[in-house]
Amino acid sequence: MVQEEMRRGPWTEEEDLKLVYFVNMFGDRRWDFIAKVSGLNRTGKSCRLRWVNYLHPDLKRGKLTSQEEHLVMELHSKWGNRWSRIARKLPGRTDNEIKNFWRTFMRKKKALEKKRASPSSSSSSSSLSSINHAVDSHASKEVGEESFYDTGGYGHDDVMGLISAGEEFSLDDIWKDIVLSEDNNNNIQQEPLYELQSQEGCNFSSPPAMIYSPSSWEYNSSHPLWVMDEEESNKMLFPATSDQYYYSCYEQGNAFLTG
C-alpha cells in the first residue's frame, strides 16, 4: 500500500485549531483515530505530543518557579530520569519541559565546572562544589562521552544529604552560587537566573495556544473532556469566516464514526 507522506515539523495555528477541535470532540485517547478523521496528515503520535506538550488547557507556561525547580531537583535525586513520573508531581508541567530544564541545568553546571577548573578558583567550601560532588558521584559512573543527562539521579543520599540539616546550605544556596558565579563572569546580571516568584508571576510567552486561553474553557481536570457548550465552543474556536470549513471537519468526523 502506498502510504501518503505524513506532515512533519512545526505545527501551524490552523493545525492546532483542528487538533483542539477534534480532541474536544473525541477525547484525548484515540490518537490514531483523531489523526485520521481530522485530516491533519500527522501521525497519532505527533498529535498526542502536540496536545500533551502544548495545547492541553491545564498547562502552565513560562519558567519553572523556584518551588518547582526545587521539587525537580529533589525528585530527580530520588527517581533519576523518570521525567514523566516527576512531571506528575508538578501539575501543569510536562516531562519534556522538565527534561529541558534539567538539560539546561546540567549544561550550566558543566560550564561552571569548567571555569572552576582553572587553578585560581578553589573555594572548596562552596555549595556548588558539594552539588558537583553529588552529581558527579553518580554521573561519573558513565563511561566515555559525557552526557547532559544524568541517567540515574544524583543518588538520593547525595542530594538529600546536602539538603538535610547536617549541611549548612540549601538548594537555594547552590543556585545562588551558580547565579553569583555568572554574576562574577558577566558583571551584568540582566535578570536573576533564579528568582522567587509567585506561580502567577510566570513570564508567559504567547504561543498560539493562548488564543483559546485555558481559562475560557470550562475545563475540568477530573474529566477527560472540556465541558463546553457546543455553540460557544464553535464560536470560540472558529471565527465566523471559517465556520464552514470547521463544520466540514465536524461532518467528516461524524461520517467517519457512523461509516
Partner DNA sequence: AAAGAGCGCAACCGCATACTC
Partner DNA sequence: GGAGTATGCGGTTGCGCTCTT
Q: Which residues bind DNA (CB under 7 A)?
A: 7-11, 29-33, 42, 44-46, 48-50, 53-54, 63, 81-85, 95-97, 99-101, 103-104, 107-108, 111, 147-149, 151, 186, 188, 190, 205, 207
The position carrying cell 533564579 is: 194
Phi, psi of 124 (to 5 degrees): -65, -20
For the chain, give percent helix, strand, coil, nearest 5.
Answer: 60, 0, 40
Least CB distance to DNA at residue 162 (A): 22
Rank residues 168 and 191 by Cβ distance to DNA and give the closer one: 191
Partnered with residue 227 across adjacent β-strands are: 218
Q: How far is the CB of 50 from DNA (least distance, A)?
A: 5
Nearer to DNA, 161 or 180 (CB): 180
Cα–Cα–Cα angle for 89, 94, 100, rounded to 5 degrees = 110
Task: Between 62 and 232, name the residue whose CB sits nearer to DNA.
Answer: 62
Q: Which is nearer to DNA, 101 or 217 (CB)?
A: 101
List Cβ neighbours of 174 (8 Å cut-off, separation of 6 or more): 127, 128, 130, 131, 162
* Least spacing, CB of residue 46 vs DNA, in Å: 4
Please state the closest distance from residue 219 (CB atom) to DNA, in A.
18
Closest CA to 25 of 230, 235, 239, 248: 230
Q: Which is nearer to DNA, 141 or 235 (CB)?
A: 141
